[in-house]
A and B are shown apart, each in its own frame.
Chain A
Amino acid sequence: DVKVTQSSRYLVKRTGEKVFLECVQDMDHENMFWYRQDPGLGLRLIYFSYDVKMKEKGDIPEGYSVSREKKERFSLILESASTNQTSMYLCASSPSGTGIGQPQHFGDGTRLSIL
């Protein structure tokens, strides 16, 4: 089974701090994704990466950056955390290509609170 591991289940940080959320997958997937999930809004894509050192903006990239130095690891960075970034953050991975047989595999999320 594919395993996507997020470093923390719960995290509390202060406004203005630099925050790192880490995600590791063990299936040699090319694609990795970061989403945030808020009540009533579903999942919204922040950034994704289709290869090491490659990144693409999703629908809501403002206030975030990402890093992918190794294939198995994809980091989400909040450069200066703000209270409106309090949310559930979900990481996912998938093999290269699209369509049949290549679903995304998700971690269990990091619930981040910014005080």
Chain B
Amino acid sequence: LAKTTQPISMDSYEGQEVNITCSHNNIATNDYITWYQQFPSQGPRFIIQGYKTKVTNEVASLFIPADRKSSTLSLPRVSLSDTAVYYCPLAGGGSTLGRLYFGRGTQLTVWP
């Protein structure tokens, strides 16, 4: 599985839009890009996933350029409750049996 690289930490203020970028230069053709959120003392929670272009749900948007070597998670108008660690593991197709490589994640801190 291709590994991913993210910034270790980011800071924002309430009400701002936050964009977290993930680099995955060795992404395979069958890989999907997924994002998870983790609060302290809880397991990670799935947020969004995509293969290419843009995906939007009620929580976030995911932007994937044509070469798929990076992706950007966009959180609109963050609040204090969005303070968490965000991971961007790739979900491998075919023989990888659904396993993910989580990496170290990005600690997002939202300030009042």
Contacts and interface: CB of A to CB of B under 8 A. Distances in A.
Interface stretch (B14-22, B37-45, B62-70, B73-81): B37-45
Contacts of A92: 43
B45 A42 contact: no
A76 interface: no
Given A42-B105, A99-B91, A100-B51, A107 B43 contact: yes
B-side binding surface: helix, strand, loop or mixed? Answer: loop
A48 B97 CA distance: 9
A109 B36 CA distance: 16
Interface of B: 30, 32, 34, 36, 41-46, 49, 51, 87, 91-94, 96-105
25 contacts: A31-B98, A45-B99, A45-B101, A48-B97, A48-B99, A91-B43, A94-B98, A96-B98, A97-B98, A98-B32, A98-B92, A98-B96, A98-B97, A99-B51, A100-B32, A100-B51, A102-B98, A103-B34, A103-B36, A103-B46, A104-B100, A106-B43, A107-B43, A108-B43, A109-B42
